[in-house]
Structure formats: C-alpha cells, structure tokens
C-alpha cells in the first residue's frame, strides 16, 4: 500500500463551499434589507445610501462571524435538515447577541428594536429555507445516473457488515452497493441475499456490471491484492482497503472516506478528485473559466487566427481528432489547424516537420492552437488542467510499456497540465520522456487543489508569452 488518505479531511473541509455559502448569506441579508426599505417595513428609511451600505455590511459581517463561530459553514454540518436546523439555531443565538451589542453601542441608531427583530427573524428563516432547498437540490443531483458509483465488497467479516449497514442506512451516498464476494457464502443470514460469488468471479462481475469501486475487508493477501490492484488500475476502478480496527485504532488514522468518520478506508493512491465535492468544484471552475475565455476570444482573437489560417494554406480552420479521455472514452478534440492537409494524422509532430505551415508554427510555439479546446472543456470532455490527452496509438503503446500510464486516464484530460509547465512538452522520442510526464500527471492527481490548477494556468500563460522551446 503506497498511501493513506492522510489529506482527505483537508479536501472535505473545502474552502470553496463555505465561501459560496457566505456569499449566499450576504446576498440574502442585502436583499431582505432592500425589500424591507422599499415596502416601508423598516423605520430606518431615511439613511443616506452610503450609511445604509455600511450598516448592511455590519449586519452581514455579524451573521457571517456568528456562522463561523457556530461552525455552520463546515461541510459535514450541512448534510441533513436536522444539522442545518441545529447549527443555524446556534448561529442565530450568536447573531442575536451581536445585534443587541450593535444596538446598545449606537452603531445602528436608525434601527428600532422592532426593525432588528424583523431583520433577525427574516434572516434566520430565509437562510434555513435556502439551505434546505440547496440540500434537496444537491441530493437530487447526486441521485442522477451519471453520479452513481456501483460498488462491491470483498469479504463478509465484521468490517464488511459495518460497511453494508452504512450503505443501507445512508441514502445520500453516491455509492450503490451490489453485493459481497468471498471464498464461501456468508454465515450471517442478513448478508446471504447479497452474496454474489467467490473471489475468482470478481473481475468478470466488475466488467459486466460497470463496477466503479471495490472495498476489500479480508485479511491481507498480498498476492491477491496485487492482482486486484493491477486489474482495478487497468479498468479505472477505485480500490479501497477497509481494515478491521477497534475504536482506538480508528482514531489514529486520519483517513475516513465517509462523512461521519466511522468507516476508515486505506487507499493505494491519494485521489482528491474522487470526492464528489472536489470534482464538482473543479467542474464549476472549468465551466466558468472556459465560458469567459470563449466569450472573450470569440470577439477578439478567434476571427484573426481563422483568417490567417485560411490565407496561409488551403483547408479547414479547425482540426479535430479522436482522443482517449477519462476512462479511455473517445472524444473529438479540437485545435486550430497548424499543418497542411495530410493523411498522417496519427503521427506525432517532430522538429522541422514539413507538414507544419508557417502560421501553424507560430500557433504551436505560443500554444494558441489549443484555444478551441475550451469548447471541449465547456461540454465536459476536457478540463482546463489535467493530463494531456494523447493519440490513440500512443495509448496502446505506452500502456504496454509504462504500467502506471492508464492511471492518468482516471481523471478528465486537460488543455494544460503539471507535466507541461514542468518542461515536459512536445515530442516524446524516448520512452523516459513519457515516463516523466506520467510521473508529473500522477503527482498532480494525488495533490490536486483548486489553487494548484490556478498556479498551472498562470505558468501556462507565462510560457505562452515566452514561447515554448519544445512546442513544434
């Protein structure tokens, strides 16, 4: 086993969701005050706009501070309606105390006690209603077919039973439990209906039923685990080890897969993007970023590049090619055409390649030929940052010579990547060059964060300005 999920909590307590919730709360309070003043529900209608803005800021800040103290913005405190009600109640108590303090200190001189009561009650009710709606919307989203992860459990011991109960009693999980595999049928009657077969049948069942996750609960069998790990990595299946630990031992492992921390899971690889909250944050960033880029470029750079391509050589403006994406699913990858029309589309470009046009050389040097791939990002075939999608023949070749190569296809490919900004771009004549790319891709996957994506984007822009030495 190579890695524990030591940094999992860091990603569970994401900063993106709390910031989003704070902005939402601020908007709610601002809207409530504007509506109340418009309909003369408040006596503080004679405030100057600037003063009213400052007062509104005080009210928003008071609510946010109360929420931070009461832990209402932490991800694990938003999973049920009961938790939302409980932590919102705690926040409201602190908020009430701060409002009273602001009133007594004459910071809110134009607001009567009735005004503050109206603001307080409407804020608490509105926030709870919005949170509840968001929770229902999120649960609905998680139940959509593309979010479901069929999973199986290997073993029928106490750890397997605990995991089974967790799957059965937690409807908000994206995992959809299919059954158990073990050497023999389980002893407990509760588990017998879920018994699927022996260990030799696991791989065939996974392939036939599209299994996405395997949880191994049996005592360590190094030979079988190695074989299972190789199979899982080849077919993009998550493999987690669920150890049989007592409560004291569980507390020593800073690695829980599930929300309440009752089920410790040891992973062969640290993969933050396997968590749905991280994947959704990355996808939301991709949509916003690619949408803004496409709007900006469509009215500025794209028409100029298109005209230059048509003037430079006959042929289409765009070039498209089937590339293997996440889980090896093929998609059409778009680029500006940089070569003369030819029949060698599966041959990698090399230095002084005669197929490359004069303007195409400039596009490649500055990476401007990749800009149409923002359309791929917008529709979900690619991400802004991720492992670069190689050609199909490269996939077949490198999968045979680099054992870790298929792992890079467990996440969405990117326009740019950690390997590219680290100096590994361009032709890969030698096998070691692709090995280095894979190393950087895996390092990116194991250390993903939104800040890392932004850093890679910034380095890519700098490289575009300087010009890529290996881009040809």
Mean pLDDT value across residues 358-385: 89
The answer to whether 286 and 461 have CB atoms below 8 angstroms apart is no
Average pLDDT, the chain: 81
pLDDT of residue 158 exceeding 80? yes
Whether the model clears a pTM of 0.75, i.e. scores above it, the answer is no
Residue pair 458/337 in contact (Cβ under 8 Å)? The answer is no
Q: Band of the pLDDT at 41, cuts 50, 70, 90?
A: confident
d(CA 44, CA 55): 11
Count other C-beta atoms under 10 Å from residue 114's C-beta.
11
Q: Which two tokens stand for residue 128?
A: 């709870």
What is residue 110's predicted lDDT score, i.e. its pLDDT? 67
Residue ranges covered by each domain of the chain: 11-142, 147-270, 277-466
Residue labelled with tokens 């009561």:
117
Concatenated DSSP letters for 428-465?
Answer: --SHHHHHHHHHHHHHHHHT--HHHHHHHHHHHHHHHH
Q: How confident is the model over 241-283, as pLDDT tens digits? A: 887 655 444 444 434 444 444 566 777 677 788 777 788 789 8
Q: Smallest Cα–Cα separation from 336: which of 375, 300, 299, 390?
A: 375
Whole-number Å distance between alpha carbons of 353 and 361: 10
Question: Residues 17-28: pLDDT tens digits?
Answer: 777 888 889 999
**462-469 LR contacts (CB < 8 Å, sep 24+):** 463/367, 463/420, 463/421, 464/366, 464/367, 464/368, 467/365, 467/366, 468/364, 468/365, 468/366, 468/367, 468/425, 468/426
Q: Above 70 in pLDDT, residue 146? A: no
Tokens of 71: 């832990």
* Sequence-ordered list of residues with C-beta below 8 angstroms from that of 200, at least 6 positions apart, any chain: none
* C-alpha angle 465-414-15 in degrees, rounded to nearest 5: 95
Q: Cα–Cα distance between 411 and 383 in angstroms, integer?
A: 9
Q: How far apart are CA 11 and CA 32, in angstroms?
A: 33
- Percent of residues, the chain, with pLDDT higher than 70: 82
pLDDT at 350: 61
Scanning 218-344, the segments in alpha helix (DSSP H) are 222-234, 247-252, 276-298, 301-312
CA angle 136, 138, 142 (to 5 degrees): 120
Which of these ranges, 15-19, 45-49, 336-340, has the smallest mean pLDDT? 45-49
pLDDT tens-place string over residues 377-409 = 998 899 999 999 888 888 888 888 888 888 888
CA distance 74 to 44: 34
pLDDT of residue 313: 86
Question: Between the CA atoms of 287, 290, 295 and 296, what dihedral angle is there, to the nearest 10 degrees?
Answer: 140
Q: Which fold has domain 147-270?
A: Rossmann fold (3.40.50)
pLDDT at 360 over 70: yes
Residue 344's pLDDT band, with cuts at 50, 70 and 90, is low
Give phi and psi for 78, each to the nearest 5: -120, 10
Residue 205 confidence (pLDDT): 95
Residue 430 has a CB neighbour count (10 Å cut-off) of 9
Q: What is the mean pLDDT of residues 145-155?
A: 84
From 45-49, 249-253, 432-436, the region with the lowest mean pLDDT? 249-253
Instruction: Write down the pLDDT at residue 3.
Output: 35
* Burial category of 199 from C-beta neighbours within 10 Å (exposed 0-12, middle 13-18, buried 19 and up): middle
Name all contacts of 5-9 with Cβ < 8 Å and 24+ positions apart: 5/254, 5/255, 5/256, 5/257, 5/265, 5/266, 5/267, 5/270, 6/254, 6/255, 6/270, 7/270, 7/272, 8/254, 8/255, 8/256, 8/257, 8/270, 8/272, 8/275, 9/254, 9/256
Q: 114 Cβ partners below 8 Å, 6+ apart? A: 43
Tokens of 224: 């079988």
Higher pLDDT, 264 or 317: 317
Task: Measure the CA–CA gap between 1 and 94, rounded to whole angstroms.
Answer: 46
- Place 9 in a pLDDT band, splitting at 50, 70 and 90: very low
């Amino acid at each position: 086993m190579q890695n524990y999920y030591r940094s999992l909590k860091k990603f569970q307590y994401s900063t993106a969701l709390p910031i989003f919730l704070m902005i939402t709360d601020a908007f709610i309070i601002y809207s409530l005050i504007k509506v109340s003043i418009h309909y003369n529900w408040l006596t503080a209608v004679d405030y100057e706009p600037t003063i009213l803005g400052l007062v509104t800021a005080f009210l928003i800040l008071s609510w946010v501070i109360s929420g931070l103290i009461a832990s209402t913005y932490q991800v694990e405190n938003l999973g049920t309606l009961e938790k939302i009600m409980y932590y919102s109640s705690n926040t409201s108590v602190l908020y009430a105390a701060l409002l009273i303090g602001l009133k007594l200190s004459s910071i809110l001189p134009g607001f009567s006690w009735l005004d503050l009561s109206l603001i307080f009650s409407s804020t608490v009710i509105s926030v709870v209603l919005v949170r509840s709606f968001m929770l229902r919307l999120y649960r609905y989203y998680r139940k959509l077919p593309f979010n479901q992860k069929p999973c199986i459990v290997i073993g029928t011991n106490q750890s397997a039973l605990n995991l089974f109960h967790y799957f059965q009693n937690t409807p908000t999980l994206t995992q959809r439990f299919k059954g158990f595999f073990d050497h023999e049928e389980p002893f407990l009657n509760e588990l017998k209906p879920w018994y699927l077969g022996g260990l030799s049948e696991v791989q065939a069942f996974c392939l036939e039923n599209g299994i996405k996750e395997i949880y191994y609960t049996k005592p360590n069998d190094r030979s079988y685990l190695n074989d299972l790990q190789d199979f899982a990595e080849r077919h993009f299946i998550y493999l987690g080890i669920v150890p049989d630990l007592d409560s004291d031992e569980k507390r020593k492992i800073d690695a829980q897969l599930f929300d309440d921390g009752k089920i410790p899971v040891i992973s062969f690889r640290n993969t933050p993007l396997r968590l749905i909250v991280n994947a959704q944050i990355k996808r939301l960033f991709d949509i916003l970023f690619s949408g803004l880029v496409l709007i900006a470029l469509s009215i500025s750079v794209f028409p100029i590049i298109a005209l230059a391509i048509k003037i430079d050589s006959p042929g289409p403006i765009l070039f498209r090619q089937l590339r293997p994406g996440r889980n090896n699913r093929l998609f059409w990858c778009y680029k500006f055409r940089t070569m003369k029309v030819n029949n060698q589309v599966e041959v990698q470009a090399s230095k002084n390649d005669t197929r490359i046009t004069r303007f195409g050389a400039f596009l490649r040097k500055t990476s401007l030929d990749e800009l149409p791939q923002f359309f791929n990002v917008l529709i979900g075939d690619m991400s802004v940052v991720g492992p670069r999608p190689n050609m199909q023949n490269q996939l077949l070749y490198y999968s045979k010579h680099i054992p870790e190569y298929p792992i890079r296809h467990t996440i969405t490919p990117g326009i740019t990547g950690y390997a590219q900004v680290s100096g590994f771009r361009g032709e890969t004549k030698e096998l070691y060059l692709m090995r280095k790319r894979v190393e950087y891709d895996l390092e990116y996957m194991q250390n993903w964060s939104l800040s890392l994506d932004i850093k890679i984007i910034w380095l890519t822009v700098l490289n575009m300005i300087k010009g890529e030495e290996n881009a040809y």
